[in-house]
Amino acid sequence: MVVTRPSISFLSGLDAVAQQVDLALKLFTETWFLDLDAGTPWDSILGERYDERKVSGLLTLRLLGLANVQAVNDLALSFNTTTRTLTGTFDIVSVFGTITGIEI
């Protein structure tokens, strides 16, 4: 959805999938009062000892749970233990095509 005064337009296809992925990664679980399960469990990802396999699995599972997402490819993660900052890139395969080079 794109809101520009005075209208609202809804995205479709790859643009809609890209927006879903972006929102899913930005939303922390237990922060949206209508659905406390929505979002990504960043507290458990960044609040514990970093385990790349666990984080990769959690992120992949979260992304595969989105409508129209069929696969997550080339997930590459990097974790800075000093700042507890996670960065990464991945590709999404959807029913509408592939989105490459998505950044976390």
Is the model's pLDDT at 12 over the cut of 70?
yes
Q: Which backbone phi and psi does 49 adopt, to 5 degrees?
A: -60, 130
Tens-digit pLDDT profile for residues 44-61 = 887 778 899 999 999 999
Is the model's pLDDT at 94 over the cut of 90?
yes
Tens-digit pLDDT profile for residues 26-47 = 999 999 899 888 889 888 887 7
Extended beta strands in 1-104, E state: 2-4, 7-9, 69-80, 85-94, 97-103
Count the alpha carbons within 13 Å of 8 in the hemisphere toward its beta carbon: 2
CATH of domain 2-103: 3.10.450.40
Q: Which backbone phi and psi does 37 adopt, to 5 degrees?
A: -85, -15
| Tokens read off for 14 | 């790859």
Report DSSP state, residue 42.
H
According to DSSP, the β-strands at 2-4 and 69-80 are unpaired
Res 9: pLDDT = 79
